[in-house]
Amino acid sequence: MRVGGKWAHVCLLAGLANRGITVHSAGRARDASLVLGAFATLDFPLTEVEVFHTDRGGGFDNARIDGPLDVFDIGGSPSGKGDPYDNAVVESTNRLLKKELICISSN
């Protein structure tokens, strides 16, 4: 989404049990810093995270992200190409967020 004429990106960490957004981070770059920023704001240990979903974007295919996932035994779950259904909860959350941001920004 564009904010002030520049792109802004968000990383959401959502809980599957309640489908709520647990934490988030935002920034100008779509890179590992977004993910690490979100992980850093969790109020529980990373050992309690079981699966981390990302889209197929190259910005999230990064050794800086793989390190914590490996150390804390967090399973990766990237979307299959053209298949949003393999991670339906996260994809649905992202879609709703985009709709809400569009509605807010157009008012």
Tokens standing for 67? 């390190």
Q: Which residues pair with 104 in a beta bridge?
A: none
Report, in this order, helix, strand and coil percent for the chain, each rounded to 5.
45, 20, 35
Q: Domain residues of the chain, as ranges?
A: 2-106
Range 2-106 has CATH code 3.30.420.10: yes
C-alpha count within 13 angstroms, C-beta hemisphere, residue 19: 10
In the numeric block, the tokens 């690490």 are attached to 36
Q: In which element (H, E) is residue 3 found?
A: strand 2-3
pTM over 0.75: no
pLDDT tens by residue, 76-85: 776 666 665 5
pLDDT tens by residue, 25-77: 888 888 888 888 988 999 988 888 888 876 656 666 678 888 888 999 988 77
Q: How many other CB atoms are found less than 10 A from the CB of residue 53?
A: 21
